Structure 1
């Protein structure tokens, strides 16, 4: 018992020192608890102007760093973490690129690289001259530019006045296909929308695209409409977009409501093809 007492007996000065030490420890704990030392708090005090200046300064330093090293042309799709660090990309920018590549997608232009990674204009200007894309990408890009230039020089004619001979001038269209386009146009009483060309039987999308580069709807056709309140199922079924089963449903609905006040009412019919409503409505009227 005397042994423990000897270790806990302090004089006046020693007791004061212990209280001071305890006070310092408590104060430090309170400071750590209440004061936020995170970098976000510190950076929030910077103005937008100061932050921009700091970014430009960092880009300049990265440019100096790059100029001091020999850089060889490379495909930006295969930038590793280390390569990205050497080029001056941030971890966040590198991660964005890697995440994009994990989806099986490829960067095919300098602009697309910036959109995906979010690199600054100054850094992009420094590293983009070293980008080396595959030859097929370059050829495709040049081909697209050539198509745009050529399309500007072609005079677009009205598809509703074009003849069989006119359609035959399009690469990929022969006599029979030209006649089929004209026949379908007559059945529609004229094309109202360019997209109706894709409905022509046995006309490939690529060939239809070529046609629309030279022929488009310039003047809307005058369509003779059918009175939905005074027509038979057979007459309605003559519409390109209405089969006989749908025609009977329309007649049945008309009998239920006595008279169809508006074509919009057809949307209430069970099984009505809403995606074709605008096309069907071109040929119907409710007098």
Structure 2
């Protein structure tokens, strides 16, 4: 195995990625099936995930894809209320990723749309898709708002807002008075339209 591929596997694992069966290695970008076949005998992971029947206590074997399909219908949770236990139920999310999702959510003030999950560092698209099969958004009431006409510079913090832009917004408020709506913020030259659109759900007037 090339060193860069080994490093990629270790990096995936360090971000919270979990290998539950041999075939999970194929989820690594550029990991070829031919290479997988060469290494398969040396990988100390099950090729399938065992399940146990409650009726006769004999082991029944199903592929992981079948297991995931069964689990999909068994649980749902609210993305803005979930704890690490909820997130770790999702295939592909371990303790580190669960904590990272929650930290990002708290910094935001809550998720307002599903695409924000793709902004979580280390959360790849396949895991996001699996997460969205179980996680639901509760609505705008679950979002923490920033009172734009009362907030101080020390309090004005948000992942979408650079400190110098926050300072410009409050300087404009001091010069021109209270903001009546998000439209008033368009007059702040350092605040571009894309940032304002992302920030708007978190502002209260």
CA distance in 1: counterparts of 2:142 and 2:92, whole angstroms: 30
CA distance in 1: counterparts of 2:151 and 2:83, whole angstroms: 33
**Which residue is equivalent to 1:170?**
90
Of 141, 145, 148, which residue of structure 2 is paired with 1:228? 148
CA distance in 2: counterparts of 1:165 and 1:269, whole angstroms: 42
Cα gap change, 1:268 to 1:157, in 2 (>3 Å): same
CA distance in 1: counterparts of 2:111 and 2:83, whole angstroms: 14
CA distance in 2: counterparts of 1:161 and 1:283, whole angstroms: 17
Deviation, 1:215, is 1.1
**Which residue is equivalent to 1:48?**
none
Of 250, 255, 258, which residue of structure 1 is paired with 2:174? 255
Q: Does 1:242 align with 2:161?
A: yes
Of 177, 183, 189, which residue of structure 2 is paired with 1:270? 189
For residue 154 of structure 2, give the secondary structure of its aligned residue in structure 1.
helix
Q: TM-score, normalised by structure 2?
A: 0.57
Of 192, 201, 205, which residue of structure 2 is paired with 1:282? 201
For residue 245 of structure 1, give the secondary structure of its aligned residue in structure 2.
helix
**Which residue is equivalent to 1:190?**
110
Deviation, 1:221, is 4.0
Deviation, 1:219, is 4.3
Q: Provide structure 1 residue ranges, at least 5 long, that are not aligned to the other structure.
A: 1-145
Q: How many aligned positions are there? A: 138
Cα gap change, 1:178 to 1:224, in 2 (>3 Å): closer
**1:1-287 to 2 correspondences below 5 Å:** 150=69, 154=73, 155-236=75-156, 238-286=157-205
Q: Which has more strand, going by share of residues?
A: 2
Cα gap change, 1:201 to 1:221, in 2 (>3 Å): farther
Q: Which one has a bigger Cα radius of gyration?
A: 1
CA distance in 1: counterparts of 2:141 and 2:160, whole angstroms: 17
Q: Which has the higher contact order (CA 8 A, sep 6+)?
A: 2
Q: Which has more helix, going by share of residues?
A: 1
Tell me if structure 2 keeps the 8 A contact 1:234–1:247: no
Q: TM-score, normalised by structure 1?
A: 0.42
CA distance in 2: counterparts of 1:253 and 1:214, whole angstroms: 43
Deviates more, 1:242-251 or 1:201-210: 201-210
Q: Provide structure 2 residue ranges, at least 5 long, that are not aligned to the other structure.
A: 1-64
CA distance in 1: counterparts of 2:181 and 2:174, whole angstroms: 15
